[in-house]
Chains A and B, each alone.
Chain A
Amino acid sequence: MLELSLHILDIVQNSLAAQASQVEIRIREDLGKDLLTLEVEDNGRGMSPELTRRVTDPFYTSRTTREVGLGLSLLKLAAERCGGRLEVRSQEGKGTKISATFGLDHFDRAPLGDMGETLAVLICGNPGVNFLYEHGVDGQTYRLATREMREILGPVSLDEPSVHDFIRQDVQQGLKKIKAASFPKIMEVLR
């Protein structure tokens, strides 16, 4: 995918297909370690050890199951392409946790992209699911939680178009405030 936010949109579909009622997306940027960490954790039905082992094998997933598709093998490739790795941990009946690391400033690290649009699509398209998004940059954090949104919105449903726009803008502004790195810094040349 051309953006990390599209990888995230893709991976979360697995959580939804696994009937998760709660999905937590966490991104951490560590400037000192040149590391970007992405975690997607859900409380869906989880996977057997066998499936967990083979879930990043595109030849396995594309033939035997449509619920876990190519998304994880693409994410694995994206991580490894810039010095990172992908880890899948899952327990049947409990849930699944996907962890991916990337070289923050590696030239081939896909830009973060439009996280606002990804979150708006996820939240508004699945109003019955609870989402938490946390993005930390060296100590500063932006956070969006549907639980908190529901408390404020009351009877107004999360799938209202004005909520879609709110999410998109809030995320954009929030990430700008904490100076989230949208793409790797090739700094000197661009000054």
Chain B
Amino acid sequence: MEKMNLKELAERMGLELKTQNIPIEGEVKTGYASDLLSDVLANSIEGDLWVTRQTHLNIVAIAVMRDLAGILLVNGAQPDPDTLEKAVEKMVPIFRTPLPTFEVVGRLYQLGISGER
């Protein structure tokens, strides 16, 4: 499976980049989809791309705590202003798509992003 970084993935899938001026060339191999913060805390792994519709500041905290590759907001969800600010400060890339979770995860999977733990 070809290696893909976040930037390439975003371009392939037409994801909207919300955080500006922070590196997005990190490699991404796996993903996790959940809207329960406790669940992500318990079951995500380092380097996961996190797919969620939660938009509040704590998603950045979780991403930092778990060393996630970035956050993909679905259903057109917009990050709260302070979420965006903190994400840039902590260098957590946030993307956005109008697609719902199921569809977006299916497409990510087809591009080689695995959910395996």
Query: Do A and B interact directly, with beta carbons closer than 8 Å?
Result: yes
Q: Which of A15-23, A46-54, A138-146, A181-189 contacts B (4 or more CB under 8 A)?
A: A181-189
| A111 partner, pick from B38, B56, B60, beta carbons under 8 A | B56
Against B, the Cβ 8 Å flags (1 = close, 0 = not) of A107-133 are: 110010000000000000000000000
Chain A residues within 8 Å of B36, by CB: 81, 108
Name the residue among B37, B60, B62 with the largest chain A CB count within 10 angstroms: B37
Q: Does B19 contact A (CB under 8 A)?
A: no
**Residues B31-72 near A (CB distance < 8 A):** 36-38, 41, 53-58, 60-62, 64-65
Q: Does A31 contact B (CB under 8 A)?
A: no
Q: Does B86 contact A (CB under 8 A)?
A: yes
Are B57's CB and A190's CB within 8 A?
A: yes
Are A108's CB and B61's CB within 8 A?
A: no
Are A190's CB and B37's CB within 8 A?
A: no
In the complex, A104 Cα to B8 Cα: how many Å?
Answer: 40
| A186 partner, pick from B54, B55, B65, beta carbons under 8 A | B65
Interface of B is mostly: helix
In the complex, A30 Cα to B107 Cα: how many Å?
Answer: 44
In the complex, A111 Cα to B41 Cα: how many Å?
Answer: 17
Nearest to B39 among chain A residues (CB) is A108
| B61 partner, pick from A106, A111, A189, beta carbons under 8 A | A189
Q: How far is the CB of A74 from chain B (nearest CB, A)?
A: 14
Are A107's CB and B58's CB within 8 A?
A: yes
Using A2-B54, A186-B65, A189-B65 as known contacts, say yes or no to A107 and B60 having CB atoms under 8 A apart. no
In the complex, A184 Cα to B53 Cα: how many Å?
Answer: 17
In the complex, A65 Cα to B63 Cα: how many Å?
Answer: 42
Against A, the Cβ 8 Å flags (1 = close, 0 = not) of B84-99 are: 0010001000000000
Interface residues on B, range: 10 to 19
Are B38's CB and A190's CB within 8 A?
A: no
Chain B residues within 8 Å of A189, by CB: 61, 64-65
In the complex, A111 Cα to B61 Cα: how many Å?
Answer: 14
Are A190's CB and B86's CB within 8 A?
A: yes
Chain A residues within 8 Å of B90, by CB: 190
Are B64's CB and A107's CB within 8 A?
A: no
Q: How far is the CB of B70 from chain A (nearest CB, A)?
A: 16
Name the residue among B36, B54, B56, B86 with the largest chain A CB count within 10 angstroms: B56
Chain A residues within 8 Å of B56, by CB: 111, 182-183
Chain A residues within 8 Å of B55, by CB: 2
Are B41's CB and A107's CB within 8 A?
A: yes
Which residues of chain A have a CB within 8 Å of any CB of chain B?
2, 81, 106-108, 111, 182-184, 186, 189-190
Which residues of chain B have a CB within 8 Å of any CB of chain A?
36-38, 41, 53-58, 60-62, 64-65, 86, 90
**Besides A2-B55, A106-B38, A186-B62, 4 other CB < 8 A contacts?**
A107-B62, A108-B37, A108-B38, A190-B60
